[in-house]
Amino acid sequence: MNITRENIDELNAVVKVDIAKEDYSDKVEKILSDYRKSANIPGFRKGHVPMSLVKKQYGKAVLVDEVNKLLQDAIGKYLVEEKLDVLGNPLPKPQDDLDWDSDAFSFEFELGLAPEFDVKLKSKKAITHYNIIADDKMINNQVDHIRKQYGKLISQEEVSKESEITGKFSNEAEGIENVATFTLDRLKGKSNPKMVIGTKVGDVVTFKTKGLFNDDHDLMTFLKVSHDDVHGLDVEVTFEVSEINKRELADLDQELFDKLFGKGIVTTVTELKEKIKADSEKQFTQQGDQKLLNDVTEYLVENTKFDLPATFLQKWMQTAGEEPMTEEQAKEEYEKSEKSMRYQLIEGKLIQEHNLQVQFEDLKAYAMEMIKGQMAQFGQMNPTEKELEDIAARILSNQDEVKRLSEQLMSQKLLDLYKREANLKTKEITYDDFVKEFYS
């Protein structure tokens, strides 16, 4: 067997594989001999079928199969030995005139080669890393929410500004019929709350859905309308009052603190607010880090310049999936996924250059820390090392979970690298301002 390569350019090459009779003949003969021993052909005893008949019936199929196995094995070894970094898989060139009655064969494969490039983490313009904080307004709102959540409901005769009302929204034509509970501060403007204040159980009020709630997404919750239908919904709905309550706020006392955090962990309102602030900002850290990860990724893709073997990749995409694609479909798919391909190459380069490997011990420690955090959410604050190890062992026995956690851990390693090496500036921002700036 002889393998040669012709480089078309820096990103494309053609590999030629020449296979001689001696490369496959012994294997083919052995397989045909085994067939002869077990073949059931009418008119011949088992094991006494003439070899000429076996070759006539099975010879070409066995030859084709063995040559294809040789090809796949040879190409795989060649790519490893030559240390060729290829994109996609080698594509066989069509050979309509291939003569399987010949003794020697030649095959050609197109290769798409990975580009050479450098990755520069230090941008000229600093990338912002947002430090999201819980301000006094947010903390006080959270305290109010806790007091409402753990407070007592007191039945009322009629609706007041402070009421929590339950009733049924209806519109037969739109298929709306849903029971909902809400406070009047969810209603938008001044006229909507006024229409309800003073009503009693059994009274019916007619609302317009447009501008009914401060947040249009409340229509999804309270009227059970789909996300696609909720935007721009402008119809009338009736609301029949079925229950009126006023919520008496819970006292900020030791009984409430113990119920929230465990006995004696929080003992004063000041400590409560400090705990809310610390817990909130711990969660916000993840959102700030995710924003940083997204921004650095965007910077790297936009500023790391290299070409890709686009024509080869589009041709490869036509046959790589479960369903074959047309040339036009493959071109469209390539355009959608080009940015992702570029980042995968950049990420691979960073992982290699900075030796960011995920070792099993790292993965185990990461899984145990994740489990510990999840258990804490359910009040299990001090699990034993053995408990954590046993749960981690069960999780890591599932290959899908191993893949998912490995990807999460690698993202964390890349994030740590960006924090060390990238040109960053820190900006403090409240959670409300962060949401308004990036998610409104």
97 and 240 assigned to the same domain? no
Sign of the C-alpha dihedral computed for residues 277, 215, 195 and 158 taken in this order: negative
212 and 356 assigned to the same domain? no
User: In DSSP terms, which residues pair with 205 in a beta bridge?
Assistant: 239
> Does residue 269 lie within any of the structural domains?
no
pLDDT computed for residue 352 by the predictor: 93
Full residue range of the structural domain in which residue 58 is found:
2-113
Best-predicted range by mean pLDDT (261-270, 380-389, 431-440): 261-270
Say if CB 203 and CB 238 are below 8 A apart.
Answer: no
Decide if pLDDT at 376 tops 80: no
pLDDT computed for residue 37 by the predictor: 81
pLDDT computed for residue 438 by the predictor: 86
Place of tokens 């798409």: 112
> Does residue 212 lie within any of the structural domains?
yes
Separation CA 125–CA 54 (nearest Å): 74
Decide if pLDDT at 440 tops 70: no
Tens digits of per-residue pLDDT, 117-174? 999 999 999 999 999 999 999 999 999 999 988 999 999 999 999 899 999 999 999 8
CATH number at 23 reads: 3.30.70.1050
Q: Which of 232, 248, 264 is the last residue of a domain?
A: 248
Place of tokens 């990724």: 297
> Does residue 170 lie within any of the structural domains?
yes
Question: Residues 352-369: what's their mean pLDDT?
Answer: 93
- Strand runs labelled E in 209-346: 236-248
Decide if pLDDT at 198 tops 90: yes
Separation CA 371–CA 359 (nearest Å): 18
> Does residue 394 lie within any of the structural domains?
yes
Place of tokens 């954590």: 388
Place of tokens 């960053």: 424
One-letter amino acid at 173 equals A
Question: Residues 8-23: what's their mean pLDDT?
Answer: 95
pLDDT computed for residue 76 by the predictor: 93
Separation CA 419–CA 266 (nearest Å): 34
pLDDT computed for residue 321 by the predictor: 84
Q: How many domains does the chain have?
A: 3
Question: Residues 391-415: what's their mean pLDDT?
Answer: 94
| Residue 44: both structure tokens together | 């011949």
pLDDT computed for residue 377 by the predictor: 73
299 and 419 assigned to the same domain? yes
Helix (H) / strand (E) element for 108: namely: strand 105-113
> Does residue 173 lie within any of the structural domains?
yes
231 and 375 assigned to the same domain? no
> Does residue 268 lie within any of the structural domains?
no
CATH number at 303 reads: 1.10.3120
pLDDT computed for residue 439 by the predictor: 78
79 and 180 assigned to the same domain? no
346 and 282 assigned to the same domain? yes
Separation CA 312–CA 115 (nearest Å): 13
CATH number at 186 reads: 3.10.50
Say if CB 425 and CB 126 are below 8 A apart.
Answer: yes
Q: What percent of the chain has pLDDT over 70?
A: 99
Decide if pLDDT at 229 tops 70: yes
403 and 310 assigned to the same domain? yes
Grade residue 252 by pLDDT with cuts at 50, 70 and 90: very high
Helices then strands, each counted (H, E), the chain? 14, 11
pLDDT computed for residue 231 by the predictor: 77
Question: Residues 398-421: what's their mean pLDDT?
Answer: 94
Place of tokens 């959670």: 431
> Does residue 261 lie within any of the structural domains?
no
Helix (H) / strand (E) element for 110: namely: strand 105-113
With vertex at residue 300, the alpha carbon angle to CA 296 and CA 304, rounded to the nearest 5 degrees, is 165
Helix (H) / strand (E) element for 74: namely: helix 51-81
End-to-end CA, the chain = 63
Separation CA 184–CA 265 (nearest Å): 35
**Mean pLDDT over all residues of the chain?**
91
Question: What letter would DSSP give residue 128?
Answer: E
| pTM summary value | 0.75
288 and 431 assigned to the same domain? yes
Grade residue 363 by pLDDT with cuts at 50, 70 and 90: very high
- Strand runs labelled E in 198-295: 204-208, 236-248
| Residue 42: both structure tokens together | 């009418």
Q: Which of 50, 83, 113 is the last residue of a domain?
A: 113
Separation CA 66–CA 74 (nearest Å): 12
Q: Which of 60, 83, 113 is the last residue of a domain?
A: 113
| Residue 11: both structure tokens together | 């990103």
429 and 310 assigned to the same domain? yes
Decide if pLDDT at 35 tops 90: no
Question: Residues 80-100: what's their mean pLDDT?
Answer: 90
**Residue among 337, 364, 260, 346 at smallest CA distance from 299:** 346
Separation CA 424–CA 440 (nearest Å): 24
> Does residue 255 lie within any of the structural domains?
no
- Strand runs labelled E in 145-186: 152-155, 163-171, 176-183
pLDDT computed for residue 36 by the predictor: 82
Grade residue 225 by pLDDT with cuts at 50, 70 and 90: confident
Question: Residues 305-320: what's their mean pLDDT?
Answer: 94
Decide if pLDDT at 47 tops 80: no
158 and 78 assigned to the same domain? no
| Residue 435: both structure tokens together | 């949401």
Say if CB 53 and CB 100 are below 8 A apart.
Answer: no
| CA 140 to the chain's CA centroid | 34
109 and 167 assigned to the same domain? no
240 and 297 assigned to the same domain? no
pLDDT computed for residue 194 by the predictor: 94
